[in-house]
Amino acid sequence: MSAEAGQQHPLGIYLKIWILLFVLSTLSYLVDYIGFQGYLRWTLILVFMFLKAGFILAIFMHVMWERMALVLTILGPPVALLFLIGFMAVEGDYTFGARVDYFGADPNAEPLPVTHIGAHEEEH
Amino acid sequence: MSETVASNLAAPRTGLPGLVDDWSVDKQTYHVPWGKAMMWIFLVSDTFIFSCFLVGYMTVRMTTAEPWPLPTDVFALSLFGSDPIPLILIAIMTFILITSSGTMALAVNYGYRRDKRMTAILMIATAVLGASFVGMQAFEWTKLISEGVRPWENPWGAPQFGSVFFMVTGFHGLHVTGGVIYLSIVAWKVSKGHYDKKGYEIVEITGLYWHFVDLVWVFIFAFFYLW
């Protein structure tokens, strides 16, 4: 495959990935609709997210057919972000703990219920 | 030695040996059109911008001791007088963006076949879907603003909810809007035959940008709306 000729692949693979992305999006929506909570919810969200992101990158953006030099240029630098996420998570956890321990914040406070303004109620 | 050179000319090595070959020969490293390499460099830098927003969001959500409003309730919407359906508009927006990514992928394919008509039609379809996405986002913003959500307060919980919502979805919406304009210009030029001589890599480059916008939405959907 020569890069100069551009990325050309059979239509079928795009259609298959397209359908797959629809299925994965439906599944990730169902996680919320069914109302899974806790670790099961977070795991499912992450699994569907990484699958979707992976297929978009690999197939739609053609990364799996690119030469390794370009692939590493694209995927290498973002690895640094994992460290940023890790450090900020540790820092955030510490700040939250300090607010609870020293500022008397309630760690189990619930958000206020959401009431939507209907079109009818808006008038008065 | 001469063997290696000969095999390089015949069929460039792939994988890690290819990586070494591409970096060690004293010439161009990336064997793609320069516009495509530049688009990728831009997208990598844009990845860092969106990541900064999302990591910032993670940090305020972790640190705030006030409860975070439940997105599943905040973004519920009743359709045709039904009970509020959780996240329904966001789900529709997600499907629209994925549909537009599909039409874009097909446009790239038809571009390389030099089918100007189909390429332009599919790119315009992509732009129309993108515009409808921005329209729904405008509706969502209007609804939340009318319910009292501001970057500094909201009726339900942690005030940072509003700042994160407006920053992240606003910046993404700006990208979609820019993409719609970019797509329309390139589609128009394709239909005029401006790329007959230059080649149709431009459609693939435009497509990279558009798929990236969809990719970012995957992360926003997971972390902001579903988490």
pLDDT digits (tens, 9 = 90+) for B35-91: 999 999 999 999 999 999 999 999 999 999 889 998 888 888 888 877 888 888 999
Cross-chain Cβ contact B66/A29 below 8 Å: no
Q: What is the pLDDT of residues A48-73, one digit of tens each?
A: 999 999 999 999 999 999 999 999 99
The residue written with tokens 């495959």 in the block is A1
> What is the structure's pLDDT at A72?
93
Number of Cβ atoms within 10 Å of the Cβ of A110: 10
Chain A interface mutation, best of B16, B32, B211, highest count of A Cβ atoms under 10 Å? B32
> What is the structure's pLDDT at A118?
55
Domains recognised in chain B with CATH numbers: 1-27 (no CATH), 32-226 (1.20.120.80)
Interface predicted TM-score (ipTM) of this complex, two decimals: 0.87
> What is the structure's pLDDT at B99?
94
E strands of chain B, at which residues?
none
The number of helix segments (H) and strand segments (E) in chain B equals 8, 0
> What is the structure's pLDDT at B3?
47
Cross-chain Cβ contact A53/B219 below 8 Å: yes
Q: Residue B213: helix, strand or coil by DSSP?
A: helix
Q: Which chain B residue has the Cα nearest residue A52?
A: B218
pTM: 0.89
* Partner residue facing B222 (CB), from A28, A62, A91: A28
Alpha helices in B64-154 (DSSP H): 71-74, 88-112, 116-146
- Tell me: pLDDT of B125 over 90: yes
> What is the structure's pLDDT at A2?
40
Phi, psi of B207 (to 5 degrees): -60, -40
Q: Which chain A residue has the Cα nearest residue B111?
A: A8
* Partner residue facing B109 (CB), from A8, A81, A93: A8
The residue among B48, B106, B78, B140 whose CA lies nearest residue A11 is B106
